[in-house]
């Protein structure tokens, strides 16, 4: 918390932002809570995406955070997104768990990263106290922290839909091994998933934004260690395709990856290199779809204007690995 005490004016601004977000969510008529994210004066928006990070700075988490701070300053990012697995190995046990300070507040200390962090839960987070990560107490400790199960960030030109993907995966229920998952608020599972899919579908249909981005922890398409998440491929992907989603962004696989769909306009982006990576395995994938794969640590940035969406992947040293952009007319190109 010492680092935040040094930026009291910024912390005050975040408190106002958080209040706006909370009031917006409470007043929303949609099924999914909705947070308002203002654009820059020039009508653009930029943000960083990192996943699978919370290891008290180890496994190069601090190194990745350092580079995120530098790139975040260069891009003047408006906020950050975490694709889940926020705290290893088993989430946090309470809002006062030291993991929150040691893996988040005391790691992402750069001034450029003192912006809202929009988080989803990963499977490792479900092995802890889920309600602790959802608790408003964490926002009192560090107002950057915004975490719900599923919700929408409304930024005028882009709507970002955060989806709770862990309850979709059968093996966590059928073959948990020695892991204990916190399913409070999820059971009965079928009702939870049916309602979630309906809410996501309705929210996507009602979106008038130029761009639609969906964020979840688990992969849909991936050549990495975990590969395709069959349950999402069958249940969530058809909804994304029907609603012409532009990007699906995930973590779970500890790599950086870009896959294009040959069946739709969806681009599948994996940003799961926030700390421990280097699995050393990559599955075969259709070369017509595989744009980029990096089995290592890093993060990605996203820039949007009314006409353009641009993605850049960086390694743990801040070096650019891959660029991709598209315009709203549907003509895209690798840069």
Residues 209 and 159: beta-carbon distance below 8 Å? yes
Residues 43 and 306: beta-carbon distance below 8 Å? yes
Q: Identify whether 12 is part of a domain.
A: no
> Cis bond leading into 89, ω under 30°?
yes
d(CA 250, CA 216): 5
In angstroms, what CA-CA distances link 8 with 38, 69, 73?
Answer: 21, 19, 19
Q: Which residues fall within 8 angstroms of residue 277, CB to CB, at 6 or more apart?
A: 59, 254, 255, 295, 296, 297
Q: Identify whether 95 is part of a domain.
A: yes
Q: State the catalytic residues.
A: 226
Binding-site residues for Fe cation, in ranges, read 52, 85, 88, 123, 217, 252, 254
Q: Identify whether 215 is part of a domain.
A: yes
Give the CATH number, domain containing residue 280: 3.60.21.10
Q: Identify whether 21 is part of a domain.
A: no
**Residue in 322, 310, 121, 292 with CA at minimum distance from that of residue 211:** 310
Q: Identify whether 311 is part of a domain.
A: yes
Residues 100 and 142: beta-carbon distance below 8 Å? yes
Q: How many domains does the chain have?
A: 1
Binding-site residues, in ranges, read 52, 85, 88, 123, 217, 252, 254
Residue-range definition of the domain harbouring residue 247 = 34-327
Report phi then psi at 28, rounded to 5: -65, 140
Q: Identify whether 28 is part of a domain.
A: no
Q: Identify whether 20 is part of a domain.
A: no
Structure tokens at 153: 């960030």
Report phi then psi at 83, rounded to 5: -90, 15
Write out the chain's pLDDT in tens, 335 residues: 333 333 433 443 444 444 444 444 443 334 899 999 999 999 999 999 999 999 999 999 999 999 999 999 999 999 999 999 999 999 999 999 999 999 999 999 999 999 999 999 999 999 999 999 999 999 999 999 999 999 999 999 999 999 999 999 999 999 999 999 999 999 999 999 999 999 999 999 999 999 999 999 999 999 999 999 999 999 999 999 999 999 999 999 999 999 999 989 999 999 999 999 998 989 999 999 999 999 999 999 999 999 999 999 999 999 999 999 999 855 444 54
Q: Which residues fall within 8 angstroms of residue 294, CB to CB, at 6 or more apart?
A: 255, 256, 257, 273, 313, 315, 321, 322
Structure tokens at 214: 């969906």
pTM of the full structure: 0.91
pLDDT at position 278? 93
Q: Identify whether 27 is part of a domain.
A: no
């Amino acid at each position: 918390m010492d680092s935040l005490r040094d930026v009291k004016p910024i912390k005050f601004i975040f408190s106002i932002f958080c209040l706006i977000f909370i009031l917006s969510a409470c007043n929303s008529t949609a099924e999914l809570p909705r947070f308002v994210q203002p654009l820059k004066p020039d009508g653009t928006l930029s943000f960083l995406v990192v996943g699978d990070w919370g290891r008290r700075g180890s496994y190069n988490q601090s190194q990745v955070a350092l580079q995120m701070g530098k790139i975040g300053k260069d891009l003047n990012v408006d906020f950050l997104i975490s694709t889940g697995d926020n705290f290893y190995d088993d989430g946090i046990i309470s809002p006062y768990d030291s993991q929150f300070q040691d893996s988040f507040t005391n790691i992402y200390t750069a001034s450029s990263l003192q912006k809202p962090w929009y988080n989803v839960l990963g499977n490792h987070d479900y092995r802890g106290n889920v309600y602790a990560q959802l608790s408003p107490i964490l926002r009192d400790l560090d107002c950057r922290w915004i975490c719900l199960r599923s919700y929408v960030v409304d930024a005028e030109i882009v709507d970002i839909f955060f989806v709770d993907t862990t309850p979709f995966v059968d093996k966590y229920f059928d073959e948990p091994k020695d892991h204990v998952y916190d399913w409070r608020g999820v059971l009965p599972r079928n009702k939870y998933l049916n309602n979630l899919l309906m809410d996501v579908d309705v929210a996507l249909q009602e979106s008038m934004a130029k761009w639609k981005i969906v964020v979840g922890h688990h992969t849909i398409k991936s050549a990495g260690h975990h590969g395709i998440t069959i349950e999402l491929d069958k249940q969530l992907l058809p909804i994304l395709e029907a609603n012409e989603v532009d990007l699906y962004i995930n973590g779970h696989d500890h790599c950086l990856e870009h896959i294009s769909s040959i069946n739709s306009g969806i681009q599948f982006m994996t940003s799961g290199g926030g700390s421990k990576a280097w699995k050393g395995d990559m599955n075969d994938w259709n070369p017509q779809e595989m744009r980029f794969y990096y089995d290592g640590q890093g993060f990605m940035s996203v820039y949007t204007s009314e006409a353009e969406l641009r993605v850049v992947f960086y390694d743990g040293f801040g070096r650019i690995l891959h660029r991709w952009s598209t315009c709203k007319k549907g003509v895209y190109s690798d840069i």
